[in-house]
Amino acid sequence: MELNSLTNTPGARERRKRVGRGCGSGMGKTSTRGHKGQAARKGHKHKLQFEGGQMPLVRRLPKRGFNNAAFNAKALAINVCELEKKFEAGAEITVEALAKAGFSDNKQPKIKILGNGTLTKKFTVKVPCSASAKAKIEAAGGTIA
């Protein structure tokens, strides 16, 4: 690095715009606000879609279609190997027990147990299960209510 190769970062030496300081500055008289109108007045603030009182384009256009995203709640997937880690043998697995173990809060509308991993402990499951999870739970000696 040499002293003659040093440069400032872009924008470091730009001065702020001082408006309303005479015509020689190029930003005197109307101070970059244009001539007359609402935008030239002091205290001018308006919403993004405001069009001077005219019905905004957003409200002029018709509403179309339907979006199901708000109603389409995804199921919380919990594998049997995770149950193996968090619960003791002979435990009863319910929505409340899963919430206590830190899997979800009680507001989760759908919970499903999937069959990924191995299971050696015996559980009583009172939550919806996939077919593979059901087979693994029953093979380990557990029951599904």
In the chain, count of helices (H) and strands (E)? 4, 5
pLDDT in tens, 52-101: 889 999 999 999 988 888 788 778 899 999 999 999 999 999 988 998 89
> pTM of the full predicted structure?
0.51
Nearest to 57, CA basis, from 46, 66, 48, 65 = 48
pLDDT in tens, 97-144: 998 898 887 666 788 999 999 999 999 999 999 999 999 999 999 999
pLDDT in tens, 9-43: 998 898 889 999 999 999 999 999 999 988 898 88
Nearest to 94, CA basis, from 108, 2, 20, 7 = 108
d(CA 124, CA 105): 20
The domains located in the chain, with CATH, are 76-144 (3.100.10.10)
